[in-house]
């Protein structure tokens, strides 16, 4: 017999987990004590939410569930934002929290909180383990649930006395669940219907979302687009499915998207939405958009189909299998007139202007991407910096773009970058954030130094919460309140205090040289960019 | 529009709160909710009557299906179901009124299950339509207390939800 805490570690080992992100506390100590005897690497983050975001970055790079850990009470509640963020972006996480002993549950003891209750609205599933003997089965199920169907976070709350209980350990080989059976195979009749609809269409368009990454269907998508000749746009979560300069790719759609993508979405006659949920930032008025168009929606989650947009041909299933079947069935149609129409719009995108004493963030993003390897991972935070990166950081073949499109959680980028770098240590990881978001995550500079994680950070510093400032300017008569970041420290000096090399850049003339130094460093690096306070998002 | 939804779920702690939480979270209004263990002790059946248009009902069914504890969700067709609700009603009844109330109960298939010099306690188990009729008859008397189980429903004929 072994302790359930030991069993927890063995479960993780059985799932092939080699890195976990966490922050200990009394209620999770039995587990940590066993973790000390394991080969699993523990990354001590400086805030529990960042542990969740780091696991998210790791999970998105590996496309497998990643693990974060927090203690009971405040540790667990700090984790909530990361859980909700992962839920909105369908990222597979296993969130392990310590809980007070079973006999104390409900007594409001020290560091007690009902975390399964609190997290209920935004977990895929959760467990409060009361019987230690069930622990191996629960872990097996949790990994299965998190990583299949529409992926998402699963919370496992383990009381302290359960962790110390002795159990017979055997890790189940298979999962037997009466209730949970995700649909994967697409209905062949519907696939046939879709192919027929596309062949009749004059102006078809694909809108690809983050679900394509989750399905591991990047290659299948590109093969389909290339064989069929159908142009594509992506959602924010679908960025980097196509290289920016792919001839059939029109860019990111939506409120903060590019004109060429929105033009394409509005002008097409048949729209295939694949692995995307038609969120409000992508499509503001889905009902009017659907008017006069044939809408085809492919998603693994049946509840997404018909939720936001009326659908002519629904198809539930895994995008990987569906797209490869569609590629086989589709015939190549000449859409050259349609492509030319789109290219004319795409090539008319204007270049930005420079402001004296500041860098132009849009031009800067292009230069930054050019200086980094093709397979760079770019992580954008939330706000103006995110949109600048989305629309101007040039993705080349093999590159990856990560951001939180669903929840829009500020402070996501650095921890996500840490997780991504650990998952792909051979790839360059560059984080783009603002001075607002940076100050929600800057404690993780310590984690980077402690674990020698060479993430490169670019801060777009405009001394403003720029996106809210812009909103106030446009919608609130330019009454600017609570958007001034006048207390900003000297970020270069701050980075140096952590032992991180850092520089400041204030003109585009200097940008190339300073970006080159960032790109050539093999250590953590921070570049502070002076951005004009009234710089616009688009 | 009213929808009667039958949900088979794992008979486990926390399941009911997941289901009811989903209703409030997605903005669906519950008119009534009844839950109990089925012929299989590991399975509970929840019957919910909810208000909303067809799109809402369809979404609700899909969202309920997504819960890991959910085995089966079925929106029952109004013409294909038999529904019952049990009500216990305590009414003021002085001796002069008793016989009137007893007649109503007798005609409507209700039973008197308790009696004091000033009250009668009535039990009635029937369809919503008949309960409404009974209510119209009895509401002229002073109702002191009304307790309802919420609707439970089963399909007509030999079909079952498994």
The pLDDT tens digits of the residues spanning A441-453 come to 999 999 999 999 9
Answer yes or no: are the C-beta atoms of A163 and A30 closer than 8 Å.
yes
Answer yes or no: are the C-beta atoms of A288 and A266 closer than 8 Å.
no
Residue B29, pLDDT score: 86
Answer yes or no: are the C-beta atoms of A278 and A211 closer than 8 Å.
no
Residue A351, pLDDT score: 67
Answer yes or no: are the C-beta atoms of A207 and A175 closer than 8 Å.
no
Taking the CA of residue A303 and the nearest CA in chain B, the distance in Å comes to 5
pLDDT digits (tens, 9 = 90+) for A395-404: 999 999 999 9
How many helices (H) and strands (E) chain B has is answered by: 4, 9
pLDDT digits (tens, 9 = 90+) for A406-462: 999 999 999 999 999 999 999 999 999 999 999 999 999 999 999 999 999 999 999
* Run of H or E residues at B118: none
* 3-state secondary structure (DSSP) of residue B119: strand
Whole-number Cα distances in Å, A446 to A81, A88, A418, A433, A497? 21, 28, 11, 17, 10
Residue B72, classified by CB atoms within 10 Å of its CB into exposed (0-12), middle (13-18) or buried (19+), is: middle
Rounded Cα distance between A229 and A207, Å, is: 14
Domain with CATH 3.40.50.1220 in chain A: 188-345
Mean pLDDT of A348-352: 68
Domain with CATH 3.40.50.970 in chain A: 2-167, 361-530
Rounded Cα distance between A154 and A122, Å, is: 9
- Closest in B10, B25, B62 to A179, CB measured: B10
Best probe of the B interface among A124, A179, A278, A305, by most B CBs < 10 A, is: A179
Is residue A321's pLDDT more than 90?
yes
Whole-number Cα distances in Å, A18 to A56, A58, A109? 15, 11, 34
Q: Which residue of A has its CA nearest to B61?
A: A303
What parts of chain B have a pLDDT lower than 50? none
pLDDT digits (tens, 9 = 90+) for A218-246: 999 999 999 999 999 999 999 999 999 99
The beta strand positions in A276-346, using DSSP E, are 294-299, 313-316
Residue in this structure with the two tokens 């859980």, named with its chain if needed: A83
Q: What angle do CA A252, A92, A305 make, to 5 degrees?
A: 55
Rounded Cα distance between B155 and A278, Å, is: 37
Residue A58: name the closest of A433, A526, A427 by CA: A427
- Closest in B10, B17, B59 to A303, CB measured: B59
* Run of H or E residues at A535: none
* 3-state secondary structure (DSSP) of residue B144: strand
Across the beta sheet with B2-10, the strand order is B29-37, B43-51, B2-10, B70-76
Instruction: Please determine, for the modelled complex, whether the ipTM score is greater than 0.85.
Output: yes
Residue B84: name the closest of B126, B32, B31, B123 by CA: B126
Residue A217, classified by CB atoms within 10 Å of its CB into exposed (0-12), middle (13-18) or buried (19+), is: buried
Q: What angle do CA A495, A501, A506 make, to 5 degrees?
A: 80
Domain boundary assignment for chain B? 2-76, 82-152
Whole-number Cα distances in Å, A133 to A171, A496, B11? 11, 50, 19
Superfamily of chain region B82-152 = ACT-like. Chain A, domain 2 (3.30.70.1150)
Q: Which residue of B has its CA nearest to A114?
A: B14
Best probe of the B interface among A116, A150, A177, A303, by most B CBs < 10 A, is: A303
CATH topology of domain A361-530: Rossmann fold (3.40.50)
Rounded Cα distance between B129 and B83, Å, is: 10
Contacting residues for A492 by C-beta, under 8 A, at least 6 apart: A502, A503, A504, A526, A528
Chain A interface includes B58 (CB < 8 A): yes
Is residue A349's pLDDT more than 70?
no
Same fold, B2-76 and B82-152: yes
CATH topology of domain B2-76: Alpha-Beta Plaits (3.30.70)
Q: Which residues of B12-28 are buried (b: 16+ CB within 10 A; e: fewer)?
A: eebbeebbeebbeeeeb
Residue A284, pLDDT score: 87
Whole-number Cα distances in Å, B117 to A245, A291, B88, B121, B123? 89, 68, 18, 12, 18
Residue A337's CB is within 10 A of a number of other CB atoms, namely 10
A445: left (phi over 0), alpha (psi -120 to 50) or beta: alpha
Residue A67: name the closest of A135, A155, A163, A148 by CA: A155
* Run of H or E residues at A95: strand A93-99
Taking the CA of residue A211 and the nearest CA in chain B, the distance in Å comes to 17
Residue B52, pLDDT score: 86
Residue in this structure with the two tokens 């909103």, named with its chain if needed: A471
- Closest in B17, B55, B69 to A179, CB measured: B69
Residue A350, pLDDT score: 65
Is residue A186's pLDDT more than 80?
yes
Whole-number Cα distances in Å, A72 to A76, A108, A113, A146, A156? 5, 12, 7, 21, 11
**Which residues in A lie closer than 8 A to residue B10 (C-beta atoms)?**
178-179
Rounded Cα distance between A156 and A79, Å, is: 12
* Run of H or E residues at A370: helix A361-371
Superfamily of chain region A2-167 = Thiamin diphosphate (ThDP)-binding fold, Pyr/PP domains (3.40.50.970)
Residue B5, pLDDT score: 95
Between chains, do B70 and A124 touch, taking CB under 8 Å as contact? Answer: no
Answer yes or no: are the C-beta atoms of A51 and A23 closer than 8 Å.
yes
- Portion of chain A with pLDDT greater than 90, in percent: 92
Helix orientation angle between A319-329 and A188-200, rounded to the nearest 10 degrees: 50
Is residue A300's pLDDT more than 70?
yes
Q: Which residues of A78-102 are buried (b: 16+ CB within 10 A; e: fewer)?
A: bbbbbbbbbbbbbbbbbbbbbbbbb
**Which residues in A lie closer than 8 A to residue B69 (C-beta atoms)?**
179
Please spell the DSSP secondary structure of A2-52, one letter per residue.
Answer: EEHHHHHHHHHHHTT--EEEE---GGGHHHHHHHTTSS-EEEE-SSHHHHH
Between chains, do B14 and A145 touch, taking CB under 8 Å as contact? Answer: no
**CATH 3.40.50.720, applies to A188-345:** no
Rounded Cα distance between B87 and A401, Å, is: 60
Between chains, do B17 and A117 touch, taking CB under 8 Å as contact? Answer: yes
Rounded Cα distance between B153 and A311, Å, is: 32
Contacting residues for A336 by C-beta, under 8 A, at least 6 apart: none
Phi, psi of B28 (to 5 degrees): -95, 140
pLDDT digits (tens, 9 = 90+) for A47-102: 999 999 999 999 999 999 999 999 999 999 999 999 999 999 999 999 999 999 99
Residue B108's CB is within 10 A of a number of other CB atoms, namely 17
What's A268's DSSP letter?
Answer: -
* Run of H or E residues at A348: none
Q: Which two tokens stand for residue A9?
A: 């570690």
- Closest in A116, A178, A301 to B14, CB measured: A116
């Amino acid at each position: 017999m072994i302790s359930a805490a030991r069993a927890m570690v063995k479960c993780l080992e059985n799932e092939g987990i080699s890195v976990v992100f966490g922050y200990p506390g009394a209620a999770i100590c039995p587990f940590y004590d066993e973790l000390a005897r394991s080969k699993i690497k523990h990354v001590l983050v400086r805030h529990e939410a960042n542990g969740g975001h780091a696991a998210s970055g790791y999970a998105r790079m590996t496309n497998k569930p990643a693990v974060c850990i927090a203690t009971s009470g405040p540790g667990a509640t700090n984790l909530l934002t990361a859980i909700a963020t992962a839920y909105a972006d369908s990222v597979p996480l296993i969130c392990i929290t310590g809980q007070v002993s079973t006999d104390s549950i409900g007594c409001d003891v020290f560091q007690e909180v009902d975390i399964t209750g609190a997290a209920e609205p935004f977990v895929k599933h959760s467990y409060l383990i009361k019987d230690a003997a069930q622990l191996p089965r629960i872990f097996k199920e949790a990994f299965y649930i998190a990583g299949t169907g529409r992926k998402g976070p699963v919370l496992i709350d383990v009381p302290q006395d359960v962790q110390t209980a002795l159990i017979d350990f055997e890790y189940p080989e298979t999962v037997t669940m009466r209730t949970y059976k995700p649909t994967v195979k697409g209905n062949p009749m519907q696939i046939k219907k879709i192919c027929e609809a596309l062949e009749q269409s004059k102006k078809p368009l694909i809108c690809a979302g983050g679900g394509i990454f989750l399905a591991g269907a990047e290659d299948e998508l590109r093969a389909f687009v290339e064989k069929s000749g159908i142009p594509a746009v992506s959602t924010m979560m679908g960025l980097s499915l196509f290289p920016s300069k792919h001839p059939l790719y029109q860019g990111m759609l939506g409120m903060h998207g590019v004109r060429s993508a929105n033009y394409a979405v509005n002008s097409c006659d048949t729209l295939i939405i694949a692995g995307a949920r038609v969120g409000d930032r992508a499509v503001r008025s889905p009902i009017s958009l659907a008017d006069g168009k044939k809408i085809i929606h492919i998603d693994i989650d049946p509840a997404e189909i018909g939720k936001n947009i009326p659908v002519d041909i629904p198809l539930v299933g895994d995008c990987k299998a569906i797209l490869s079947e569609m590629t086989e069935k589709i015939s190549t149609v000449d859409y050259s007139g349609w492509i030319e129409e789109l290219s004319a719009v795409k090539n008319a995108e204007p270049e930005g202007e420079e402001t004296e004493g500041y860098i132009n963030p849009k031009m800067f993003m292009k230069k930054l991407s050019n200086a980094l390897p093709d397979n760079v991972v770019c992580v954008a935070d939330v706000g103006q910096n995110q949109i600048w990166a989305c629309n101007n950081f040039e993705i080349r073949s093999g590159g990856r773009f990560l951001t939180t499109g669903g929840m829009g959680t500020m402070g996501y980028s650095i921890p996500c970058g840490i997780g991504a770098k650990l998952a792909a240590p051979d790839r360059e990881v560059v984080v783009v954030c603002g001075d607002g978001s940076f100050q929600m995550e800057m404690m993780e500079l310590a984690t980077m130094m402690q674990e020698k994680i060479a993430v490169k950070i670019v801060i777009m510093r405009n001394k403003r919460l720029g996106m809210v400032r812009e909103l106030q300017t446009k919608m609130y008569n330019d009454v600017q309140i609570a958007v001034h970041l006048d207390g900003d420290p000297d970020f270069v000096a701050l980075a140096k205090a952590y032992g991180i090399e850092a520089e400041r850049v204030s003109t585009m003339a200097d940008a190339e040289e300073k970006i080159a130094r960032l790109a050539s460093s093999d250590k953590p690096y921070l570049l502070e960019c002076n951005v004009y306070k009234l710089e616009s998002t688009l | 529009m009213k929808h009667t939804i039958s949900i088979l779920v794992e008979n486990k702690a926390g399941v009911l709160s997941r289901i009811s939480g989903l209703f409030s979270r997605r903005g669906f209004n519950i008119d009534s909710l009844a839950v109990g263990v089925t012929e299989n002790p590991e399975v509970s059946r929840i019957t919910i009557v909810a208000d909303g248009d067809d799109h809402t009902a369809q979404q609700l069914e899909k969202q309920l299906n997504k819960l890991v504890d959910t085995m089966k969700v079925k929106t029952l067709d109004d013409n294909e179901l038999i529904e019952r609700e049990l009500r216990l009603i305590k009414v003021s009844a002085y001796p002069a009124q008793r016989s009137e109330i007893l007649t109503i109960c007798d005609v409507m298939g209700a039973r008197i299950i308790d009696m004091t010099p000033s009250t009668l306690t009535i039990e009635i188990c029937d369809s919503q339509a008949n309960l409404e009729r009974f209510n119209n008859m009895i509401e002229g008397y002073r109702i002191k207390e009304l307790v309802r189980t919420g609707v439970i429903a089963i399909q007509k004929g030999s079909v079952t939800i498994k």
